[in-house]
Each structure stands twice: as structure tokens, then as C-alpha cells.
Amino acid sequence: MTAILVIFGAAILAYGLLSLVLAYLAQQYPRRPVVDPPDWGRTLDTRISAPGGGSLEVWRIEPEGPSRGVVLLAHGWGRNRDRMVRRARHFGRLGFTAVIHSARDHGRSSPRRLMNAVKMAEDIEAVLGWVGEPVLLYGHSAGAAAAIVAAHRRPEAMRLLFLEACYAETEEALLSLYRWFNRPMGALFGPAIVFWMNLYYGFTLQAVSPARLAPEIPVPVLIIHGAEDRRFPLAFAEKLQRAFAPGRAELFVAAGAGHSESSLSPDYPGVVASFIERHLDPGSPALPAA
């Protein structure tokens, strides 16, 4: 009996330690930067101060003609500013200045341990300060969650909000992500990883969930989601839409698209252009055709 208890205790200890290591690794890896520099307009490649020291790499791409405002684009987990170039190109065609940065610990921005959506939101706020005017804010995946946090903190700096491949509840999203990565491992270790993260962050994961912040977002929102997203299922986007004030958020579902493919949909350019035309300030100039 004693031997059984020792074995059981050792197994529990091993499980706890392994899940703790996995919780750390989940916030460090993977990093999959891409290379896709802007190929339109006039590009400024610069660095700005990052929160807490260090710097962020930033592109500012001016359109060929007069600018109709600024769109700030935030990439998702493990990526970099290049990942948002494809999306920014659509806004450039509509006459907007595109500003794209790499979050800390991503791309060639400064290192920062234990990054998360809230810290990515801090980076967005740093770029907002550098831009110096209200923006159209566009986030993808974790960058979309960060965009909601930034919009909640800085509503005066927002004109429109675009959320691609976002989720509603943080804990639910993490568990879904781990199961997508490896179903058996995610089912076995996912709850423990979420527990360790909650413990480290003072059990605040749910408090910064997009659905918890959504009711206080004051600007029009376009939620963009792939119908075949396996990391964050479409039900997450539908739940997030319901969390906003009635009529505040629209949902575009890209048929056949996965987590990062909605911007490849043939309907995407028209949906984005229509949303902008309907919701920008009444005094704004009319947009050119995409």
C-alpha cells in the first residue's frame, strides 16, 4: 500500500512539474516569422521605443495618393509584421496609410519573456502613441485579442475595429488551441497548463477575455472568421459577436478558410471596403474601388 501511494504521489508530482514546463514553453514557442515586405507606396522602416525598454520594428506604408487615415495591424502569436502585409495591401488600395509592427519577442523586436495578449496590447498602445491619431485597428488571432484590450483601454484612439480569427473566452481558447496542436496531449495537460497560467497571472485570464471587454467597446467592429478554423472554431466568433452591444459588431465568415486564410477569400476585399464605407465618419471622403 505504501509503495502504491509513493508511486501515485510521484506520478502527481511528475505531472505537475511537466505541465509547469509546458505552461512556460507555451508562452515562448513556436516562433514562425515570415518574410513578405511591403511592395506598394512609400515605406518607412523604423524602430520605436517598446514598453519597459527595448524597441519595436515598425513599417509605415504611405499610399500613392493622399492618405485617408491610418490602419494599424497587429499580427498573431509567433509571427511578425510581415504576416500582416497581405491584409495591409488591401487597405493601401483603399487609400489608407498602413502601420505594421512586430510585437516584443517576435520578428526583430526586442526580447520579452512570457508574452501574452495583454503585453501585445501594450505594444499596440506604444504604436498608437507613435502614430498620434485615431486609427482603424486590425488584429489577427492573439493580435485580435490584444486589439480588443487596446481598444478597451484607448477608446479615443479607435475609429473602427477589425478582429480576424479571434476568440471569446481566454481559457476556452487556450484549451482549444492545445487540443488542436495535439489532441491527447491537449486533453491531458491543457487544464493544468491553464491552471499554472492563471496562478502566475493572479487568476486574471478570464477578466481580459475579449467577450468580457466587448460590451464596453464604443466603435463599430467587423469580426472576420474562417468557416473551417480548427484552432478557434466558428462558434467562438459567433459568441464574441453576441458579446458586443446590439448592432455593434458584424460577422463575416470566409467560406472554406482556416485560421489564417480569411483574407484570401474573394469576398474579403469587398466586405472590408463596404464596412469602412458604411462606418467611417460621415465627413470622410468616399473610398476608391478596391
Q: What is the pLDDT of residues 31-40, one digit of tens each?
A: 788 999 999 9
Instruction: Answer whether 248's CB lies under 8 Å from 220's CB.
Output: yes
Is residue 201 situated within a structural domain? no
Which 3-state string (H, E, C) describes 223-244?
A: EEEECCCCCCCHHHHHHHHHHC
With cut-offs at 50, 70 and 90, classify the pLDDT of residue 188: confident
Confidence at residue 288, expressed as pLDDT on a 0 to 100 scale? 46
Confidence at residue 285, expressed as pLDDT on a 0 to 100 scale? 46
Which runs of consecutive H residues, i.e. helices, occur in the chain?
Answer: 2-26, 85-93, 117-131, 142-153, 170-181, 183-200, 210-213, 234-243, 268-279
Is residue 177 situated within a structural domain? no
Cβ contacts of 133 within 8 Å, gap of 6 or more: 69, 70
**Strand pairing category for 55-62 and 97-101:** antiparallel
Residue 207 vs residue 135, higher pLDDT? 135
Confidence at residue 289, expressed as pLDDT on a 0 to 100 scale? 41
Residue 150's closest CA among 94, 194, 103, 199? Answer: 103
Confidence at residue 16, expressed as pLDDT on a 0 to 100 scale? 66
Mean pLDDT of all residues in 168-187: 90
Indicate if the pLDDT at residue 181 is higher than 90. Answer: no
Q: Tell me the percentage of the chain whose pLDDT exceeds 70.
A: 87
Confidence at residue 199, expressed as pLDDT on a 0 to 100 scale? 86
Is residue 35 situated within a structural domain? yes
| Domain boundaries, position 91 | 31-169+209-279
CATH code, domain with 99: 3.40.50.1820
Confidence at residue 13, expressed as pLDDT on a 0 to 100 scale? 63
Q: What does residue 249 show for φ and ψ, rounded to 5 degrees? A: -120, 135
Residue 219 vs residue 282, higher pLDDT? 219
- Could you report the per-residue pLDDT of 141-154, keeping only the tens digit for each? 999 999 999 999 99
Mean pLDDT of all residues in 153-174: 97
Mean pLDDT of all residues in 162-174: 96
Of 47-51, 107-111, 185-189, 232-236, the poorest mean pLDDT is in 185-189
Burial of 111 (0-12, 13-18, 19+ CB in 10 A): exposed
Residue 113 vs residue 116, higher pLDDT? 116
Mean pLDDT of all residues in 236-247: 98
- Could you report the per-residue pLDDT of 6-52, keeping only the tens digit for each? 565 666 666 666 666 766 666 666 678 899 999 999 999 999 999 99
Mean pLDDT of all residues in 163-187: 92
**Global pTM?**
0.91
Averaged confidence pLDDT in the chain: 90
Is residue 196 situated within a structural domain? no
Of 53-62, 98-107, 280-289, the poorest mean pLDDT is in 280-289
Is residue 26 situated within a structural domain? no
Is residue 213 situated within a structural domain? yes
Burial of 183 (0-12, 13-18, 19+ CB in 10 A): exposed
Instruction: Answer whether 143's CB lies under 8 Å from 120's CB.
Output: yes
Question: What is d(CA 209, CA 122) in angstroms, rounded to the nearest whole number?
Answer: 16
Confidence at residue 29, expressed as pLDDT on a 0 to 100 scale? 61
Is residue 37 situated within a structural domain? yes
Confidence at residue 192, expressed as pLDDT on a 0 to 100 scale? 85
Residue 275 vs residue 183, higher pLDDT? 275
How many structural domains does the chain have? 1
Order across the sheet with 97-101: list the strands. 42-49, 55-62, 97-101, 70-74, 135-140, 158-164, 221-226, 249-254
HSE toward the beta carbon, residue 147, CA cutoff 13 A: 34
Is residue 224 situated within a structural domain? yes
Indicate if the pLDDT at residue 140 is higher than 80. Answer: yes
- Identity of the highest mean pLDDT range in 29-33, 189-193, 216-220: 216-220
